[in-house]
Amino acid sequence: MGAISVQRKKNVSPKPKPVSSDFEKDHDSASASKEKIDKKKEKSKRKKSHKAGPSKDENGTPYNYIVILDAGSTGTRVYVYTYLDAGYMVKHELLSGGKAITGIEIAGNLPYVHQDSGYWSKKTRPGLSSFKKDIKKYGDSTEHLASRIGKKSLKKLLSRARKVVPKDQQYRTPIFLHATAGVRLLDASDQEALMSATCYYIKTHSNFYLPDCESHVRVIDGEEEGLYGWITLNYLLGKMRADEEKQVGFLEMGGASTQMCFEPQENEIAEHEKSLMGLRLGTVGVTEPEMKFKVYSHSFLGYGLRQMHLDYLKMLIGQNSVSGEEGSDEKSTIQIEDPCAPDGYRTKVELEGKKCKVVGSGNEEKCRELVYKAFAIKETTGEECSAEEQKEVSRCLVSENMPDFSFDYENFFGVSGYWDTISELLDLENEGKDPSKTEFQKYGKIYSYPEIEKEVSKVCSLNWKQLKDYRDEDEDELADLCFRSTYIVNLLHNGLGLRRDNSSDSFQVNDQINGVDFTWTLGRAVLYASDESVAQIQALKRDNKPESGYNRVGYYTSTNQSVFIRGSEPVGVALRPEYGFQGDSLLLEVVCVLLIFALMFLFLWKRIAVFKMVRTIVSWVRRHRSKKYVKLDENDTPFDVELQDLEDDEEGLAK
């Protein structure tokens, strides 16, 4: 196993010890207030010190930026990534000199896609799926629905992205929003309304490159999400190389679904060809993608932690609910006894329009039984799963279309909800702070069933007060820790077939991979960067002539293997503009405006000149005609005047 650096995202300080006097309480209160003020000042300093990323490196090579928004079930998070422009480096022959970043040569490797700091990402709540209720209200007006979504979710995310991406790079920085399981659970019409409004808001409130709503702002399916996560994992482990024999398997636990992606063994690939995705990747400097993979990727929709907990509570309503509380809501409130919640815990929830009061009973054995049942009765579980009898190991989620896999061979890594739950269960943060256990921060936590089982039993048997004393965590997370831990144990051993007596390092949980926070969006960015690099080199090799016969970076899904999806922009949509193109365009616009003004001036000047000439001619004609007429006396007649004019004309001719 490669070295894995693991670090908790949030800092949790130990609970303060009880004080023995009012003076000490006042002193602690004053100290706490001072500490809060100091933290605010420090936070303010950090905010002021944040600068936009660089436009070029020290050699003048432009950076490429990409903005990706992950619209999850509980919130939306923006990520900004950057990497050097491969086309520029090839065009200026910079790769031949062994150009490197962080000691790694660029040529022959995938683009170095990275973030400079944690400031390059930000999350807002709620998730896009929560705006479903606004669709009926604003559905006929994309503009109004967009305004609602923007105000509550996207505005702050776009603001953060604008602060990170340099101003002279924003016009050429592609932006993507990919919605996952939370939105996948909605009706197709609701999905379309949300995506249309979201794209409208991004286009009208940012200057980022968004040439095609259909590909840039969309609901991705579970296969794609799993593939992006698999790319991220193996990319950070340094396994995305043409000479690498095998990659590791990927498991991710989300709020509404759980993802699985792995590269099957050769004999399984041949047998399950129609169930696999095809992936092509290319390193910097090549004209054709040289890395090809066949992977199985699947999303188990409805098996995420949040969705499974909702299904579990709904099952409890029908099994052990007691209607009728004392008080004014006697008829409208349902009381639920929850064996997975600690004794002494109370909370109120709304399920399918019904108000419910959840009362914890802290029954470990009953909790295990009901969590397994809620898991086993789902329609998507296989025949091997019986809701009445729980086996030690079963593969409820494994279907006939799924290639056979082994935790020992694929060496799966569990991220997101797997890490969050197990790290809280085992208190891994405090373990990592222990100087005697520094190895923990270098390697992921190896999953050990005996260790997990022991801790689950303890957590599920403590009452609410004891549990809060035992673990210093957020109370909402602490209250359902027993459920989450029990469910993950069920999913691993009864859903995916992980042996309970497993003693190898075949499964481990991680929050960071080699010091980088895990997120599937990095895999999406790597895919874009790789395809962009290959496309740029292809354009240079064919002297910018129309492409013909070249392979590109991208993938096809198992559901539609005849359609190849490019890693960057789809067919017919241009790649990002070259760096500096906007400046040339602006200069051209200025020249055009000046030329128009010059033509207008010339036109007006000519009109004025013609007008003056006409006035001169008219004036001359009038003066000339006035000489022919004489002043009439009282006895003159018009006939006399006409004769006089003729006589004058004759005299003039004679002369």
Element (H, E) at 365: helix 364-376
Q: Is residue 651 flagged as an active site residue? A: no
Residues written for the chain: 655
- For residues 540 and 87, the answer to whether their CB atoms sit within 8 Å is yes
- Spot the catalytic one: 35, 93, 143, 225: 225
Q: How far apart are CA 635 and CA 640, in angstroms?
A: 10
Neighbours of 636 (CB within 10 A): 12
Of the candidates 602, 326, 305, 335, the one whose C-alpha atom is nearest the C-alpha of residue 481 is: 305
Burial of residue 299 (CB within 10 Å: 0-12, 13-18, 19+) is buried
According to DSSP, the β-strands at 412-416 and 507-509 are parallel
Q: How far apart are CA 492 and CA 499, in angstroms?
A: 9
Give me the helices (H) in 407-474, please: 407-410, 417-425, 428-433, 439-442, 449-461, 464-470
Residue whose structure tokens are 């089982």: 453
Residue list, annotated binding site: 255-259
Q: What is the DSSP string of 164-230?
A: HS-GGGGGG-BEEEEE-HHHHTS-HHHHHHHHHHHHHHHHHH--SB---HHHHEEEPPHHHHHHHHH
Of the candidates 65, 84, 82, 67, the one whose C-alpha atom is nearest the C-alpha of residue 159 is: 67
Sign of CA dihedral 202, 205, 209, 211: positive
The angle subtended at Cα 483 by Cα 495 and Cα 325, nearest 5°, is: 130
Residue list, annotated binding site for ATP: 255-259
In sequence order, the β-bridge partners of residue 258 are 253, 300
Write out the catalytic residue numbers: 225
